[in-house]
Chain A
Amino acid sequence: MAAAYNPLKPQGDELPILSVRDLTVAFDQFTAVDEVSFDLHNGQTLAVVGESGSGKSVTALSIMRLVELGSRAKIEGGEVLFRGGHEFSDDGAPIDLVTQDEATMRRIRGNHISMIFQEPLTSLNPVYTVGNQVAEAVMLHQGLNKKAATARALEMLDLVRIPEAKRRLSQYPHEMSGGMRQRVMIAMALSCDPTVLIADEPTTALDVTIQAQILGLMRELQKETGAAVIIITHDMGVVAEVADDVVVMNRSKIVEQGSVYDIFESPQDPYTQALLASVPRLGSMNGTSEPARFDLVEQEI
C-alpha cells in the first residue's frame, strides 16, 4: 500500500505513474486538447476541472485511448507515459500509451487504468445482473473461473459498502438506486486492482447526500488501495473536497495547475479567478439576511 500522497511535500525520487506530455487531440479542424501536460503519482488525487467543452473529458478518454473509437478524433501529438513496470518493458521503463497497439491497450484498460463515468445506468448492461457484470471484468482481465470471479464480485460489492451484497449480486441495474449503481461501477473499476482510476464526473448525476457518500467512499478506497485518481469535474466544491492537485482547463488548454490550496487561495490565471468568483460557497452568506449578487470579474468566459 502506498503512503498517503502529500501535495505540499516534494515527491523526491518517486517517479510519476502517469505523465501526460504535450497531448494534442483534434476532431477534424477543431483542437479539443491542446498540448496538455501533467503528472500523476501513486496515491495522488488530481482534479481536472473546467466548464463544458474545455477538453477535460477528451483528455481522460485519450489517456485510455478510447477517444478514437467511433469518432473522428485523432491524437495528433504528445505522449502518455505509463509506468506499468516489468510487465510492459524489460527494464520497467514507462511505455507511451499513444503508440501501443490495441491488444496492449486492452491489457491495460481495466487491469491497470480503469475508468468510471457520470451515468451508471448507461454504463451497465440492463439485461445482466450486476454480479454477472462485475464477475465478467475479473474473468476477462484476470482469467478467473466463474466461481472465483463471483466470489471476487461479492468481495468487491462488500468493499464499496453495498448492504446485503450477496442479494444484490443477483439484481439487475434497474432494481438499484443511482447511488448503488455508481457503487457497482466503482466495484467493477477497482476489481482488478488498477494503479490508476479515472473518474469522469462520477457524482454529477447524483443527489447531494448520495454524492457525499460516494466521495467519502472514493477517498476511503484510495487510502486502502493506494491507487492514483484522476477526477474530471466541473464542480469546484467537489475539487475542494477531494483533490490534492488541480489542473484547470479552458478552451482545450491548461491555464493553470498547482496544489488545491494554491488554486483556491491564490489563483494566478484570470480564467481561474473568474471561475472561482462565480462559485457559490456554502456559508459565505453567514451573518447576512438579504440575497447577494455574485461579484463577477468583468471577463467573458
Chain B
Amino acid sequence: MADDALVRVDDLCKVFPVGGGSKVHAVEHVSLHVGRGETLAVVGESGCGKSTLAHLIIRLLDPTAGTVHLDGTDISTLSPRAMRTHRQKMQIIFQDPFASLDPRRSVGDAVAEPMNVHKTLSGSALDDRVKALFKRVGLEESHTEQFPHQFSGGQRQRICIARALALEPELVIADEAVSALDVSIQAQVINLMMDLQEEMGLSYLFISHDLAVVERISHRVAVMYLGQIVELGPRPAIFENPQHSYTKRLLEAVPIADPRQRRERPLLVGDIPSPRWAADESPERVELVEVEPGHFVGVEDNPGATF
C-alpha cells in the first residue's frame, strides 16, 4: 500500500450487538487506502457494510478494532477535542440532501456553519467565501438567502457539496450522494465532482450501489460482501477482468442501456445470507491475494457456491 496515501485503513472491524446476545459483523477486517487526488469507490449491495465503513473512517462511529490513518496520524483513538482539527480535512455528503439541510435555515447559513464552528473565517470574508462556494458549485450568489424547500433535488445536493468544501477538505466521502437524483441531474453532479477533484486535488471515497456510475467516476474500486472486501483493484481490472465470483455476479446483474446487449437473466433465487452471528461465532475471514499489481482477490474455496 502506498505510504503517502491520504487515508489508510488497517484491519478495520465494526461489530454491532443485536438482541439475544447475537451480533452483526458490519465491517470485518477491512484494509484499504485512498491516494491523494484519487477516487476510491466502495460498491456492494444493501447491508454489505459500505456505509458503516464510511462512518468509521470519518468517525461518526468508533471501530471495534483496527485503525484509520489520515495524513499519517492515527485518528481512530483521538479524543473528540484532538479530532476537531482532523475533521476539517474530511467531509461527508449523504444520499438525501433535503434531510441533510435544516429547513428553517437559509442555505447560505448552512454553508457558512462549518466555517463558523471551526472559526476559519468571519464577517465579510465569510460572506464572500459563501458566495464564491455557491458560484463554484453552479448556483447563484443570490441563492444564499433562500431556504432548502425552494430548491430542486440537484440544487440541494450542490448546496451540500458547497458546505462540504467550505473547510477545504482533502477527503470527501460521498455516501450514495447521487443515488436519489434523476439521471440527467446525476450526470451534472458527477461532472461537477470531477471538476472539483481536478481543481482542488480532492480525494473521494465514493460509496455506491450503482456500478455504471462507479465505472465512470473511480480510479480504483473495492467490492464489499457481508462486511468484507472480496475484490479490490484499479477500475479497469475490476470491470474488465473481475476475478471473484461475487464481483462477476454483480457486474452481470447490471442492466446495460443498450438493447443490443440484452443478456439472459438467471431465474435462480438467492438472498444474501444474514450477517448476524451468535455470540460465540464469527464469519470466516476472506484472504486477499494480489493477482496482478494492485489487484487483490478474495480466495474462494468453492467459487460461486455462496452467492
Contacts and interface: CB of A to CB of B under 8 A. Distances in A.
Interface of A: 51-52, 161-163, 177, 179-180, 207-213, 215-217, 219-220, 234-241, 243, 260-261, 264, 274-294, 296, 301
A241 B262 contact: yes
Contacts of B191: 293-294, 296
Interface residues of B, number: 53
Interface string B2-14: 0000000000000
B184 A51 contact: yes
A264 B213 contact: no
A283 to B, nearest CB: 7
8 contacts: A52-B153, A161-B267, A179-B269, A216-B266, A264-B258, A278-B188, A280-B212, A284-B216
Given A52-B182, A208-B254, A296-B188, A213 B215 contact: no
A294 B215 CA distance: 12
A105 B236 CA distance: 54
Given A260-B259, A264-B257, A291 B218 contact: yes
B270 A212 contact: no
Contacts of B265: 212-213, 215-217, 219
Contact of B257 (A177, A276, A285, A287): A276
B250 interface: yes
A283 B254 CA distance: 10
Given A51-B183, A261-B259, A282 B211 contact: yes
List the 9 closest A-B pairs by CB distance, nearest first: A216-B265, A237-B255, A278-B187, A212-B253, A280-B212, A294-B187, A51-B182, A207-B45, A241-B255
B224 to A, nearest CB: 13
A240 B258 contact: yes
Contacts of B272: 207
B255 A240 contact: yes
Interface in B202-218: 209-213, 215-218
Contacts of B249: 209
A285 to B, nearest CB: 5
Contacts of A177: 271
Nearest to A301: B184
A289 B236 contact: yes
A278 B183 contact: yes
Interface string B226-267: 000000001110011000000001111111111111111111
A209 B45 contact: yes
B299 interface: no
B208 to A, nearest CB: 11
B271 A180 contact: yes
B39 interface: yes
Given A208-B253, A240-B262, A280 B215 contact: yes
A208 B253 CA distance: 6
Q: Which of A180, A239, A289, A294 has the most chain B CB within a 10 Å cutoff?
A: A294
Contact of B183 (A180, A234, A260): A234
Interface of B: 39, 45-46, 153, 182-184, 186-188, 190-191, 194-195, 209-213, 215-219, 234-236, 239-240, 249-272
Nearest to A178: B46
B183 A285 contact: no
Given A216-B265, A274-B184, A285 B255 contact: no
A237 B210 CA distance: 11
Nearest to B38: A291
Nearest to A243: B259
Nearest to A163: B269
A189 B271 CA distance: 22
B253 A211 contact: yes
Contact of B239 (A234, A240, A286): A286
Contacts of A238: 255
A282 B215 contact: yes
A294 B257 contact: no
Contacts of B45: 207-209
Nearest to B213: A280
A222 to B, nearest CB: 12
B192 to A, nearest CB: 9
Contacts of B216: 280, 284-285, 291-292, 294
A217 B270 CA distance: 13
B254 A285 contact: no
Contacts of B252: 212
A282 B267 contact: no
Given A216-B265, A278-B183, A291 B39 contact: yes
B144 to A, nearest CB: 22
Given A213-B268, A213-B269, A264 B259 contact: yes
Nearest to A205: B46
Given A212-B255, A294-B190, 19 more contacts: A161-B267, A162-B269, A208-B45, A208-B250, A209-B45, A215-B255, A220-B267, A235-B255, A237-B254, A241-B255, A241-B263, A243-B259, A264-B258, A275-B183, A280-B212, A280-B216, A282-B211, A284-B215, A289-B219
Q: Which of A161, A209, A219, A235 has the most chain B CB within a 10 Å cutoff?
A: A209
Contacts of B184: 51, 274-275, 278, 296, 301
A21 B11 CA distance: 62
Contacts of A236: 183, 257
Contact of B270 (A209, A240, A289, A294): A209
Contacts of A216: 264-267
A162 B267 CA distance: 10
Contacts of B210: 208, 280
Nearest to B271: A177
